[in-house]
Structure formats: C-alpha cells, structure tokens
A and B are shown apart, each in its own frame.
Chain A
Amino acid sequence: AQTVTQSQPEMSVQEAETVTLSCTYDTSESDYYLFWYKQPPSRQMILVIRQEAYKQQNATENRFSVNFQKAAKSFSLKISDSQLGDAAMYFCAYQGGSEKLVFGKGTKLTVNP
C-alpha cells in the first residue's frame, strides 16, 4: 500500500520569507500524481499544486513550487514571499492507479508578521 509521510508537524515562517515543507512517499507504481492541498482553519481544502510523476519538470504556481525527486520519492513544497493568508494545514497527497487520494498527516504552517 502507498504511504505518505510528512515529517514536520509544524513549521513557522516570517512574512515575506521562504519556507519549504517536506513530503516523502512510498509506492511501487510508476505512474502517479502528487498534490499539495491547503486547509485553512475551519475552511475547506483547496488544491495548491500538482505534479505528474512522468514529468521531470517541477511544477510551479505563482509563489508555490515543488522539488520533485522521483528516485528519492520526495516531493517538497516551497512557498516564496510568504503571506499571512498562507497560514494553514498543508497536506501532501498521492494518487496512483486507484482514484483515491492518500494523504500525509499534514504540516501546520504559521506565518509571523
């Protein structure tokens, strides 16, 4: 079974600084997708960024980018120019041959003004 591990339960960053959230996963599949979801307090989960495993180029979405290392099964999220609105739980998720998403336990990000 696939597993997703987020080793940082909590992280903090100063406003306007850069922070990197870590994620590793375990799978024997060759084709899969990886995602970062954001869950603000008492609000619904939204997709931040996705990466197709067959693509070597790292995905970017404005201030959000990933470092995808397929051989190492690592998928970290970098948030540049952090803003107060970035404060949330961040979940790394895996989707392989099954439709289901497999989530990590999450990292709580605090942004300090």
Chain B
Amino acid sequence: DTGVSQDPRHKITKRGQNVTFRCDPISEHNRLYWYRQTLGQGPEFLTYFQNEAQLEKSRLLSDRFSAERPKGSFSTLEIQRTEQGDSAMYLCASSLGMGSSSYEQYFGPGTRLTVT
C-alpha cells in the first residue's frame, strides 16, 4: 500500500514536553497538508507545502508549532512546550497539484496526541 503514512499513530506526552510527528505522502504528490481534528469537530487546516516551500499557515499555528518539508518529500510537525489544549488528532494529507487545479487530497491515518 503506498498511501499516506503517519508516525507515530499515538503519542502520550506530559505538558511542557516537545513532540514531533512525521508524515510520508504518496510518492509523486507535490502538495502536503497538515490538519488538526478535535473530538466532535471537522478537521481544521494548519499549513500546507508545495514541494519544500511552506505556502500557507493558519492563525491556529502558534509560535509553538513548526512544520518542515526539507526535501519536498516527507514532512515533520513539531509542537514545543505542549499544552493540554494541543490534544487532538493530527492529520496529514497529500495531493498532486498542478497550477490552480484542485486535486483530491488523500489523508493519512492521523497521529493522536494526548497531553497529560
């Protein structure tokens, strides 16, 4: 299966610790997205990359959050000094974007973060 993969699938951390999540998109996809989903809500956009360039960031992405896609392949999302409000499912998606055309975003299984 060559779908979007995310690691780890679950992460439990103590408040104040740093965490890092990884996303591996579908290999030929040049666009990569991060979303956050809390219980009972739809996913909320955090940021997206086209190749290695981070093109858009949500205001939800505070200074404690940073995302990278160093070689235009996998991406990492780091949360520093975690807070209980960061507890959520972090979803990664990828798509093959060309110009202004919209292509389907394929989602990974998500990383569930619990901050205690």
Known: A33-B102, A44-B110, A50-B104. A105 touches B41 (CB 8 A): yes
* Interface bracket on A: 20 to 34
- A103, B43: Cβ atoms under 8 Å? yes
Report A-chain residues with C-beta under 8 Å of the C-beta of B106: 47
| Stretch from A11-19, A65-73, A80-88, A94-102 at the B interface | A94-102
Q: Is the CB of B69 closer than 8 A to any CB of chain A?
A: no
Instruction: Give bound CA distance, A101 to B91, whole Å.
Output: 12
Closest Cβ–Cβ distance, residue A33 to chain B (whole Å): 5
Partner of A105, one of B42, B45, B58, B110: B42
Closest Cβ–Cβ distance, residue B54 to chain A (whole Å): 12
Q: Is the CB of B55 closer than 8 A to any CB of chain A?
A: yes
Known: A33-B102, A47-B104. A101 touches B43 (CB 8 A): yes
Interface size on B, residues (CB 8 A): 25
Known: A45-B91, A46-B107, A99-B97. A105 touches B40 (CB 8 A): yes
Instruction: Give bound CA distance, A91 to B43, whole Å.
Output: 9
- B33, A99: Cβ atoms under 8 Å? yes
Residue of chain B at shortest CB distance from A108: B40
Instruction: Give bound CA distance, A60 to B97, whole Å.
Output: 23
Instruction: Give bound CA distance, A100 to B44, whole Å.
Output: 9
Instruction: Give bound CA distance, A93 to B107, whole Å.
Output: 14
Closest Cβ–Cβ distance, residue B34 to chain A (whole Å): 10
Report A-chain residues with C-beta under 8 Å of the C-beta of B58: 100
Report B-chain residues with C-beta under 8 Å of the C-beta of A43: 109
- A100, B56: Cβ atoms under 8 Å? yes
On A, residues with C-beta under 8 Å from B are 4, 33, 37, 43-47, 50, 91, 93, 95, 98-106
Can you list 20 A-B contacts with CB-CB less than 8 angstroms, sorted by A residue number? A4-B42, A33-B102, A43-B109, A44-B4, A44-B107, A44-B108, A47-B105, A91-B42, A93-B42, A95-B102, A99-B31, A99-B33, A99-B56, A100-B33, A101-B105, A103-B42, A103-B43, A105-B41, A105-B42, A106-B41
